[in-house]
A and B are shown apart, each in its own frame.
Chain A
Amino acid sequence: MWTAETVLALAPDPASAKAGRELATRRKWTVLGKSVDAESTSALWGACQGSGKDPYLTRVDMSEPAFKCSCPSRKFPCKHALGLFLLYVQSSGDFAAGQPPEWVAEWLESRAARATKRGEREARAAESPSDDNDPASAPQREKSAKQAAARAAERERRVAAGVADLGLWLRDLVRQGLSAAASRPASSWETMAARLVDAQAPGAARLVRQMATIPASGDGWPDRLLDRLARLHLLLEGFGRIDALPPDLAADVRGQLGWTIPQEALLELDGVRDEWAIVGRRVTEEDRLRVQRTWLWGRATRRGALLLHFAPVGATRSETKPVDPTFVPGTAFDGTLAFFPSTVPLRAIVKERAGVVPWTSDHGYASVADAITAVADADSRMPWIESHPVLLRQAIPTTTTPWRVRDGSGNWLPLSQRLRDRFRLLAVSGGSAVPLFGEWDGESLMPLTVWGDSGAVQLL
């Protein structure tokens, strides 16, 4: 299932892709091997003579895929791993089949051991949530639990102080008027955001930063700005009465303010098993991080799910390159997701990916009206959703101003101004109804994927 195209898509930046292509030649490698399992080849290894004295030892586990290389590069996967992988998809015959040498076997074993450990931990967690029958470590555990509780209490205090400041600031803004706010320098928003970061409420900081650009966003900005201010204020009021809120709504409030939930805690929650299609992927730059938003759609559960992956902004600034390239739009996997607690659970992490499954594109909403009904239902329960997953089974893009997608009944949604690939979208549709996935922000639809006769096409 790996092709040169999909392998190159793993490259962290164009320079790595180029370097990888150059290394995908038999002559560069002194050793080339592949494992022969009962079913298929899963591991590759090779030795590549670089500038140093010793050759670099490169390993690829194709099942995930995973990479390891002894070179000092900080790119991941490095050019050697890409080159090795490319060479394999181009001419697998150059690889000698056999038992992995020690340096490969060790790596494969350590990966297997880690996977088993993770499995055991999950199993143990499922059996006895509070594992207290180890007397030796009990006092120590008690001590560290105390420290953790103290840290948590300190954070609560700081967030509460930050939230109080933000409340005053918001009310002050409304008192002086939005037109006055529009003429404030950008630094005034940034100062408030920085204060919230100090107060350990990074989520609130993000919401303030986003608002800074609204006054310059053209017609209708006062409505957009007031909408954001009011929802942020609602969040603060919710935090003030958090103990009175239902648990899921309280989790939403804490999540919006910036509390995270440790991965282990999430993995202990019940998962949702389904066949999950990867319906959209988008990478944006936010606050010196590259954020990958991967949207999934469950075949049986008929719901969207959002995976977030983060990476620091690299020197090469290839902002649209995937952070986690293993989620390829247009593919699907059988697996279990753990959703972050919420009134409208959207954000999730993958608990288990059991295997790749085929996906037909006849899923999603039958009409624009159905999609908007689902959006309204979610909005009515959870006021802080920024973008809703909208998978339309039959969308017709048209070039009427503004460009839009419509359904057979004539209901239409305007397309986002940020869509650069609108002619690509139009080309793939050919003016007919096509499956389309996009993010709906209440004003416009940002299409991320469209399905045509040559499969899923990502849009930018």
Chain B
Amino acid sequence: MTLPRTDLSIWPAAANAALLGTDRAALTLPSDDGPLGAACAGLARDEPDPSAALLRIAAAASAYRRCGWLPARTEEPPPAACPPDPHPLCPTAATGLLRRILQGEHESLLTVWLALAARHGVRAPADTLRDLLDLGRRDPGLRPLILAAGGTRATWLAGFNEDWSYAVGGATADALVATLETGTGPARLAALQQLRRLDPERGRAEVEKSWAQESPAERAGFVAALIHGLGAEDEPFLERALDDRRKEVRQQAAGLLAKLPTSALVTRMVTRAIALLSLGKSGLLKRTRIIVTPPAAADTALVRDGVDPKPPAGSGIGERAWWLAQIVGAVPPSTWTSAWSLDPAAVLQAADGNEWHDSLVAGWLVATERHRDAAWARALWENERTAQIAPQWGAPSPERVFTAVVPAEQVDAELRRAIDGGRDVLQQNHRLLAAILEWPHEWSDALARAIAGRLKELADHGVPLTAEFGVRALLERCGHAVPISAIDAFSAGWPEHSDAWPTWAPTIDTLASVLRFRNELHLAFEEPQS
């Protein structure tokens, strides 16, 4: 069918006349007559007012246009659809909870949702992927979990939006290498971190490949990223990095080498350290004591091995004490226990009263964390004088070393024993509170119940929560650390008659709601697949 040309030209003619105004440009209808043309000619004849006639004709032409409108058509086949995902969709209840989290309810539990999805091998519903990919863009730490839960659909979707380039290709080593080669700043660093977790060897090879072209800031970041999957094979590269022009790069490399017990740097440090410390007996009681000969100078070789020659400004720490702490910090703490045939507690005791005491303990804290020595971690935690080490030393706290190094079930048992120690333990044992807050693990049922008992006692004794910052931090930590089995201990049985209860109630309500939500999350994933 061919349309009369006149009819097609009526609308543009009317629009043109209307734009200029009928006072200036009268509407002249094209003279051929198709059916619309004939109808419009009739309309114009019946209406003497040119503006009214134009509006009538436009109304007719508008209907003609709208009713005859046909969609555009492409001959191209649709683009390739997303490949199917081998993982089943998460249960319906889990979908509902994820949507609530993404709308801002208990946002901190997103990682719990994602971890549960990973554990159950299920994927997130497609309608949440845009929000998840946006979150991953802002928080690289979430990316592995988001990519796992998003499955093939997330990877496919990411291909349409540059903001989500980190997710293109998913988390395969090839995709990560591609990001390293073509990406920018933070995206490259995140890709390297992930690649090191997947394939450390390849990650280092990639760093070495582009090393000469990297800016100093990027070199420092890349060396630091090698902490993931760090191994003896990284030593030659790190040893070379000790001669880098940039101080941050040298220090990062030395820090990593100090974690490798077989590295040449550690051997050099052990040689230095052994020369500085020896064991002897002194005083009336002939107690075993450590005799310290602090380093005389920070020579080039020492500085090359990562020793910072200048103590932190304003710290009040002397140069020699500062060097000593760093040398001791680079040496596996077992060096001393085996050299002197003493257990760690005895070594600590032998340092008691020494004028270099703090320097030694700061070094041991660093070394124990670096070499993950559980016996030393326990001894440092149990020794009361280690708590006095000033923050200027930059050493990790004994609580942190203890919770990070000692196996989880032992930490749990130890914390439980300490909690059982006395009624006001939460208020008075700051070290215990600090350790509980530091420890990133989920608590055992028994530990959670013990903590609940102490918290309820505090409230019952009329202690207002308002000023108890430590206890408030503990209550916040409860939301994530209380195991599902112990939720009942936190959601009921609070002393609501207590005078102090009004100061507790809002926080306890919030905690109960977080715990309930977490419980819902767990139940939701247990639901049988539909």
Contact = CB atoms under 8 A, between A and B. Distances in A.
B157 A427 contact: yes
A430 B71 contact: no
Interface string A18-53: 000110111100000000000000000000000000
Contacts, number: 173
A406 B78 contact: yes
A369 B96 CA distance: 36
B125 A4 contact: no
B79 A431 contact: yes
A84 to B, nearest CB: 16
A158 to B, nearest CB: 23
Contacts of B66: 376, 379, 442
Contact of B78 (A176, A368, A398, A413): A398
A368 B99 CA distance: 32
Contact of B51 (A174, A369, A400, A432): A174
Interface string B119-153: 00000011101100000000000000000000001
A3 B96 contact: yes
Interface in B333-372: none
B71 A174 contact: no
Chain B residues touching A, majority SS: helix
B55 A170 contact: yes
A368 B19 contact: no
Interface string B387-406: 00000000000000000000
Nearest to A397: B78
B95 A454 contact: yes
A177 B59 contact: no
Contacts of B18: 174, 177-178, 222, 226, 229
B529 interface: no
Contact of B509 (A22, A408, A426): A22
Contacts of B99: 5
B54 interface: yes
Given A409-B73, A423-B130, A454-B89, A174 B81 contact: no
Interface stretch (A204-212, A231-239, A244-252, A331-339): A231-239
Interface in B195-223: none
Residue among B20, B63, B104, B127 with the highest chain A CB neighbour number at 10 A: B127
The size class of the interface chain A forms with chain B is 35 or more
Nearest to A3: B96
Interface stretch (B21-29, B226-234, B266-274, B444-452): B21-29
Contacts of B160: 399, 423, 426
Contacts of B68: 376
Interface in B443-492: 492
A412 B72 contact: yes
B78 A372 contact: no
Given A174-B21, A423-B130, A412 B56 contact: no
A114 interface: no
Contacts of B55: 170-171, 174, 229-230, 233-234
A376 B67 contact: yes
Interface in B498-523: 509, 512-513, 516, 520
Most buried by A among B22, B59, B93: B59
Interface string A89-115: 010000000000000000000000000
A431 B78 contact: yes
A430 B72 contact: no
Contacts of B97: 5
Interface of A: 3-5, 8, 14, 21-22, 24-27, 90, 170-172, 174-180, 222-223, 226-227, 229-231, 233-234, 237, 368-369, 372, 376, 379-380, 383, 396, 398-400, 406, 408-413, 421, 423-424, 426-428, 430-432, 442, 452-454, 457
Interface of B: 11, 14-15, 18-24, 49-52, 54-56, 58-59, 61-63, 66-76, 78-82, 89, 92-93, 95-97, 99-100, 104-105, 125-127, 129-130, 153, 156-157, 160-161, 492, 496, 509, 512-513, 516, 520
Given A227-B62, A427-B153, A452-B127, 10 more contacts: A27-B509, A174-B51, A175-B51, A179-B21, A230-B55, A234-B59, A369-B70, A426-B157, A427-B129, A428-B126
25 contacts: A5-B99, A25-B512, A25-B513, A174-B21, A174-B55, A175-B50, A177-B20, A178-B21, A179-B20, A222-B15, A226-B62, A233-B56, A383-B59, A383-B63, A399-B79, A400-B74, A423-B160, A424-B130, A427-B129, A430-B156, A431-B156, A452-B127, A453-B125, A454-B95, A454-B126
